[in-house]
């Protein structure tokens, strides 16, 4: 038996797009229909306090893959293609991804779905199989895809097509997993917009009479972006958003069934999370970090759903409120796969594999979380959140213990001056430790309108952002 493959779990990493942490049945939402995500949570650990590294897709995804923050890898906003052209920039050319390290140690790696952190047409280092979305979003019927290096329009429902491709990968490599373990990224575009007239009617019909009490529409936020691309039909958008998640959930069920049929479920780590959070009316806006200007760091934007399941290793039906971040993912996967993660040890994150196994609860109780989106940075503990906007503000301070919905900004309240200074000092010291000055986000013109070109010194003087 191959020594590399004999004791190492396969990994299926399922990533949704723009899914709020609140948008799962197992997370307490009584209206959304997610039986297979609930089924997955029942076989493993659901994380109630998991945070993205940046509340927008491309930097968050780049941080998941590299274990580095945006001010290290230089992807600070969603990657925008030049007008009328295909993106050919290798944003992560100088970075090491966990997929590359897995491949070096004998894993066969595949991608089915959205990438959106590099030239999508060229397989990233370490990937043997590559079926990718051409950009970061678009229609669910007629989606722009790349297969075998060829760009084409996929006329079928893209959520189903991504799953079909992943199932073919499992059929090919699953039977030999005891000799060579596999890793596959199954990256759905759901529930990213568009929502109206883009999903099978049988799913939208499920929500025709839904009251959407789980998603109240609040008073309009003063920073709400004008003219969002999804328009103002709240009822239709909610139906489409929920329907896209239920349609994706059905496909996740197919993946789980396939692992069971192949007899490899017990040796496969299944991870599910989203790239960033999303507000569907929470705080009075729709969107994520760039749903407002200036960009926001509300929990609805930075908290993501996260489930990890490996039968016999991760205890079933567990829920943890330990605070975890996307920059912890790379060292965790590498430790789970028994891959030398010395590279990850020099990064901001820490493996939570022992936590998944039930061994590390106390050790991580006092951890704090850091986020960034260009000039906007956040530090969050279980009790407090501080948001600093360089150079001039506005800043925010929330006492989460008594104000979990982040309604009362205490930034200018003198009673909390010492706490604010402590939080700010913690934030500045942490970023000072990890930021690469050549791609420091606070020096980039990040507005939430997209990134074209490399950041900072890597750009050789070119304007990188809209």
Same domain membership, residue 121 and residue 238 = yes
pLDDT surpasses 90 at 359? no
How many folded domains does the chain comprise?
2
DSSP assigned state of 220: P
> What number of other Cβ atoms are within 10 A of residue 208's Cβ?
10
Find, among 162, 187, 135, 183, the residue nearest to 19 by Cα.
187
The DSSP secondary structure of 331-379, one letter per residue, reads HHHHHHTT---HHHHTSS----HHHHTTS-TGGGTT--EEEEETTEEEE
Q: Is residue 2 predicted with pLDDT exceeding 50?
A: no
Query: Could you tell me if 346 and 373 lie in one domain?
Result: no
Q: Let me know whether 100 and 239 are in one domain.
A: yes
The pLDDT value recorded for residue 381 is 97
How wide is the angle at C-alpha 36 spanned by C-alphas 35 and 42, nearest 5°?
90
**449, part of any domain:** no
pLDDT computed for residue 363 by the predictor? 61
Residue 4 pLDDT grade (very low, low, confident, very high; cuts 50, 70, 90): very low
Reported as half-sphere exposure (CB side, CA atoms, 13 A), residue 129 has a value of: 22
Domain of 232 in residue numbering reads as 3-364
- In degrees to the nearest 10, what's the CA dihedral of 77, 125, 19, 197? 90
Residue 217 CB neighbours (<10 A): 14
pLDDT digits (tens, 9 = 90+) for 212-257: 999 999 999 999 999 898 988 999 999 999 999 999 999 999 999 9
d(CA 49, CA 199): 30
Contact (CB, 8 A) for 132 and 111? yes
Q: What is the pLDDT of residue 3?
A: 39
Residue 450 lies in a domain: no
Average pLDDT over residues 49-61: 98
Q: Which residues, including other chains, have CB under 8 Å from residue 95's CB and lie 6 or more apart? A: 62, 65, 66, 68, 73
The mean pLDDT of 430-434, rounded to a whole number, is 97
Average pLDDT on 145-172 reads 97
Task: Please provide the DSSP assignment of 396-464 as one string.
Answer: EEEETTT-TT-----TT-GGGHHHHHHHHHHHHHHHHHH--GGG-GGGS---SS-B-S--GGGGTT---
- Asked whether residue 293 falls in the same domain as residue 206, the answer is yes
The pLDDT > 90 percentage for the chain reads 88
276-333 pLDDT, tens digit each: 999 999 999 999 999 999 999 999 999 999 999 999 999 999 999 999 999 999 999 9
Position 341 scores a pLDDT of 81
365, pLDDT greater than 70: no
Say what the pLDDT of residue 1 is.
32
Q: What's the confidence (pLDDT) of residue 364?
A: 63
Decide if 106 contacts 128 (C-beta within 8 A): no
pLDDT of residue 5: 43
Same domain (yes/no): 95, 140:
yes
Same-domain status, 399 and 358:
no
pLDDT exceeds 70 at position 460: no
Judge if 281 and 263 occupy the same domain: yes
Mean pLDDT of the chain: 94
């Amino acid at each position: 038996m191959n020594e590399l493959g004999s004791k190492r779990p396969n990994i299926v990493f399922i990533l949704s797009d723009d899914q709020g942490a609140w948008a799962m049945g197992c997370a307490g939402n009584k209206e959304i229909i997610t039986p297979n995500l609930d089924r997955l949570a029942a076989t493993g650990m659901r994380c109630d306090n998991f945070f993205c590294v940046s509340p927008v897709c491309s930097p968050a995804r780049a941080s998941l893959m590299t274990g580095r923050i945006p001010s290290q890898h230089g992807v600070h906003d969603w990657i925008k293609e030049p007008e009328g052209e295909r993106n050919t920039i290798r944003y992560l050319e100088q970075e090491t991804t966990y997929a590359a390290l897995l491949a070096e140690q004998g894993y066969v790696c595949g991608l089915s779905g959205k990438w959106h952190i590099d030239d999508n047409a060229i397989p990233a280092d370490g990937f043997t199989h590559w079926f990718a979305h051409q950009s970061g979003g678009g229609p669910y019927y007629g989606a722009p895809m790349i297969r075998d290096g060829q760009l084409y329009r996929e006329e079928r429902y893209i959520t189903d097509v991504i799953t079909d491709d992943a199932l073919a990968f499992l059929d090919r490599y699953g039977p030999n997993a005891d000799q060579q373990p596999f890793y596959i990224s199954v990256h759905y575009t759901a529930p990213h917009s568009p929502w109206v007239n883009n999903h099978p009617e049988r799913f939208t019909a499920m929500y025709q009479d839904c009251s959407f009490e789980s998603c109240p529409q609040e008073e309009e936020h003063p920073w709400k972006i004008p003219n969002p691309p999804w328009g103002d039909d709240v009822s239709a958008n909610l139906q489409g958003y929920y329907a896209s998640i239920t349609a994706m959930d059905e496909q996740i069920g197919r993946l789980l069934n396939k692992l069971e049929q192949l007899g490899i479920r017990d040796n496969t780590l299944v991870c599910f999370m989203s790239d960033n959070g999303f507000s569907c009316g929470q705080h009075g806006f729709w969107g994520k970090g760039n749903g407002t200007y200036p960009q926001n760091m509300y929990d609805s934007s930075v908290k993501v759903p996260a489930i990890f399941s490996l039968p016999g290793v991760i205890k079933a039906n567990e829920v943890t409120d330990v605070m975890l971040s996307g920059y912890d993912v790379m060292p965790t996967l590498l430790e789970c796969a028994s891959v030398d993660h010395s590279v990850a040890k020099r990064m901001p994150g820490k493996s939570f594999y022992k936590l998944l196994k039930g061994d590390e609860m106390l050790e991580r109780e006092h951890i704090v979380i850091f986020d960034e989106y260009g000039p906007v940075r956040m530090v969050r503990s279980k009790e407090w959140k501080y948001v600093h906007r360089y150079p001039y503000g506005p800043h925010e301070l929330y006492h989460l213990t008594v104000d979990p919905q982040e309604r009362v900004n205490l930034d200018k309240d003198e009673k909390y001056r010492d706490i604010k200074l402590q939080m700010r000092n913690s934030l500045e010291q942490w970023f000072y430790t990890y930021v690469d000055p050549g791609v420091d986000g606070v020096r980039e013109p990040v507005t939430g309108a997209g990134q074209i070109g490399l950041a900072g010194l890597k750009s050789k003087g070119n304007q990188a952002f809209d």
